[in-house]
Amino acid sequence: MKIFVSAGEPSGDLHGANLIEALRVRLPGATFLGYGGPRMAGAGATLIYPLVNLAVMWFLQVFANIATFVWLIFRADRCFREDRPDAVILIDYPGLHWWIARRAKARGIPVFYYVPPQLWAWAGWRVKKVRKFVDMVLCSLPFEPDWYRERGVPNAEFVGHPYFDELDERELDEGFLRDWSVEARGGPLVAILAGSRTQEVKRNLPIMLRAAARLAVDHPTARFAVASLHERHKGLAEQIIEATGREDDAPKLPAIEVHAGRTPELIRMADVAWSVSGSVSLELMMEALPTVILYKLNAIDLFIARPFIKAKFITLVNLLADAEIMPEYLTTRDVSVELAAHARTWLDDPIARARATANLAALRLRVARPGASQRAAGRIADWLESRRSEPPSQSPAYHGPHPAASHEGRPAGPSSRRDTTA
């Protein structure tokens, strides 16, 4: 059996690698190929193109890379025609993946969407593409199956968020933790998580640095550490720190360390965090770390996106809680004053800090459920095995959710529009 898997972001690459490993258990002898990154390659997938290197977002960046995206669509179609995989699995990364799903269905190949894009938050009209091109939606959030079914997508199942699998199995560097502990270094630690995409780092890190400068005035012993995805982003962060420090109107920056590949350790040690929105918020929730979420856009992107934003919150943790337990800012302006103020409150007021950590810990107890990779692999394997066993005269359509799937205890799905700050 041959399976095509496509992921376009570092988190999707990790989810894809874990899913491939789980599928190998259910489908011994299966081979994997597709678009992804080093994690999927390490799990044994043959990469046709390193799509993770093209992790772009928002309208202008997509248009700037349109020729590459068109080539990727045609390259996937050639694979479907010549190599003929038995299934196509797509992981988040909407836009390109709709076109890949379209070409797979045109070739009669079943399509599974794992960790589907958050259509309920910003692009509900795209559910018609799911109805037309996707055979099964493997949902990561508990309210998503009902949302899809209410819109004519019956084959949507909640398998859980794969991020909890990765957190459950992750091993931290104990030596790094000892060297950077408050006992070794002194003073509270503020973790700065500016994003896994270059665009995110460029837009969000300068605001976070200015917040660090403001906070350091009241907390001169505070330590600040930037968590970079890899060495290339570490170099970019160091350039931004140097440039921000030269700004005439910026307060003097404190000493700021930059670490590549140390996000889990920095989150474990931190007293406060400033972070972009994304799946990393689930890791921050798991550590019950008081966090402010920032997502800076340029004015054009926010103007275009504003009419489509339907969710109350931009942060996964807040969506799961149906409350803003992580203060969040989707904005075009400098909110360094606000970031510093939240951090100052949590560092100075034990009651406020205890309230923030208790809310996160309670949500963790309710939603953190590892095993998504295994459950998703089971649903995919069952579907493919049942299709192979059907007589030729029968329709290959999937006939309903797996009887073991449970949808009890779901929070209500998001419905109202988030008020953005511009």
The answer, yes or no, to whether residue 418 has pLDDT greater than 60, is: no
Q: Are 192 and 253 in the same domain?
A: yes
- What pLDDT score was predicted for residue 59? 45
> Can you tell me the mean pLDDT for 68-86?
95
Q: What is the pLDDT of residue 377?
A: 98
Co-location of 212 and 111 in the same domain: no
Percent of all residues in the chain with a pLDDT value above 90, rounded to a whole number: 67
What predicted TM-score, i.e. pTM, was given to this entire model?
0.74
| Claim to verify: residue 356 and residue 381 sit in the same structural domain | no
Total structural domains within the chain: 2
Among 135-149, 354-368, 408-422, which is the least confidently predicted range?
A: 408-422
Domain-embedded: residue 170: no
Report the distance separating Cα 112 and Cα 157, nearest Å.
11
Q: What is the C-alpha separation between 396 and 383, in angstroms, rounded?
A: 10
Tell me, what's the pLDDT at 95? Answer: 82
- Please tell me whether residues 203 and 150 are part of one structural domain: no
pLDDT over threshold 70, residue 397: no
Q: Is the pLDDT of residue 347 over 60?
A: yes
* Same domain membership, residue 186 and residue 141: no
pLDDT at 27 over 60: yes
Claim to verify: residue 145 and residue 190 sit in the same structural domain: no
The string of DSSP letters for 241-293 reads HHHHHT-TTSPPP--EEEEES-HHHHHHH-SEEEE-SSTHHHHHHHTT--EEE
Name the band, by pLDDT with cuts 50, 70 and 90, for residue 9: confident
Q: Report whether pLDDT(396) > 60.
A: no
**Does one domain contain both 148 and 194?**
no
- Residues 1, 41: Cα–Cα separation, whole Å: 18
Q: What is the pLDDT of residue 62?
A: 52
The pLDDT value given to residue 389: 65
The per-residue pLDDT for range 295-318, each reduced to its tens digit, is 998 877 766 666 556 668 889 899
User: Are residues 149 and 280 part of one domain?
Assistant: no
CA distance 158 to 237: 37
pLDDT tens-place string over residues 187-222: 999 999 999 888 899 999 999 999 999 999 999 999
Q: Which residue has the higher pLDDT, 143 or 32?
A: 32
What band does 47 get if pLDDT is binned at 50, 70 and 90?
Answer: very high
| Confidence at residue 185, expressed as pLDDT on a 0 to 100 scale | 78
What's the pLDDT score for residue 306? 65
Residues 360 and 375 in one domain: no
CA-based diameter of the chain, in Å? 74
**Which range has highest mean pLDDT (51-65, 176-190, 264-278)?**
264-278
Regarding whether 307 and 295 lie in a shared domain, the answer is: yes
Which contacts qualify for 99-107: CB closer than 8 Å, 24 or more apart? Answer: 99/69, 99/73, 100/6, 100/72, 100/73, 100/76, 101/129, 101/133, 101/134, 102/129, 102/133, 103/73, 103/76, 103/77, 104/4, 104/76, 104/80, 104/133, 105/132, 105/133, 107/77, 107/80, 107/81
Place 167 in a pLDDT band, splitting at 50, 70 and 90: confident
The pLDDT value given to residue 64: 54
Contact yes or no for 25/18 (Cβ under 8 A): no
315 in the same domain as 202: yes
| CB of 409 closer than 8 Å to CB of 146 | no
Average pLDDT across the chain, whole number: 87
pLDDT band at residue 104 under the 50/70/90 scheme? very high
82 falls within a domain: yes
58: pLDDT strictly greater than 80: no
150: which residues sit within 8 A by CB, 6+ positions away? none
Report if residue 421 sits inside a domain: no
Task: Answer whether residue 400 is part of any domain.
Answer: no
Residue 407 lies in a domain: no
Q: How many beta carbons lie within 10 A of that of residue 380, not counting itself? A: 25
Is the domain of 180 the same as that of 110? no
CATH code for the domain of 283: 3.40.50.2000
pLDDT computed for residue 93 by the predictor: 85
Range of the domain at 86: 2-160+371-389
Residue 415 lies in a domain: no
Q: Say whether pLDDT at 168 is over 60.
A: yes
